[in-house]
Amino acid sequence: MSSQRVRRALCPGSFDPVTNGHLDIISRVAALYDEVVVAVFINQSKQSLFSVDERKEMLEEGTADYPNVRIETFQGLVVDYCRAHDIPVIVKGLRAVSDFDYELQMAQMNRGLAGVDTLFMPTNPEYSFLASSLVKEIAKWGGDVSSLVPPHVLQRLKERTGPS
């Protein structure tokens, strides 16, 4: 009897809020791996629009159609989370060369610290400009972000930022 190794990957981020770009990357990773953990960073030095629990709930709703995806929260080093949960790969979506410059340094550090590899997935061109910070700014000023986030996130944005 042979035992096949379960292929696991981690998609870390702040997801404040989750966007259609995030969900596109997560869906593509879910098609490639047996188990995908989407890990929401707890970063107390950063002012977030949504609490960690709210971000986790929005991700759970947005990934409900993917039985191999689970949403977790964590604080600390990504590589420590990977080691503790036997996850050998971090998958990061890249929008532009500027993302690559930063993410390459992180990938090399993670490999050096814990032997955890990072795979880069180019974003769908439809979402290449999309960032949570832009979504929050546009929503704050009453702009239309309905094409940038799923409906359940749009509703929460409207509740948090006021009517558009």
Tokens of 16: 């404040």
Under 8 Å between Cβ of 14 and 132: yes
DSSP state of 127: G
Q: Please tell me whether the peptide bond between 17 and the residue prior to it is cis, using omega within 30 degrees of 0.
A: yes
Report angle CA 102, 119, 32 to the nearest 5 degrees: 145
State the catalytic residue, choosing from 45, 46, 98, 147. 46
State the catalytic residue, choosing from 22, 56, 136, 156. 22
CA distance 120 to 68: 20
- Between strands 117-122 and 89-94, the pairing is parallel
Angstrom distances, CA of residue 149 to CA of 11, 56, 94, 121 = 18, 15, 18, 20
* 22 assigned to active site: yes
State the catalytic residue, choosing from 85, 95, 111, 158. 95
Under 8 Å between Cβ of 120 and 103: yes
* 48 assigned to active site: no
State the catalytic residue, choosing from 48, 56, 92, 132. 132
* 132 assigned to active site: yes
The set of catalytic residues is: 22, 46, 95, 132
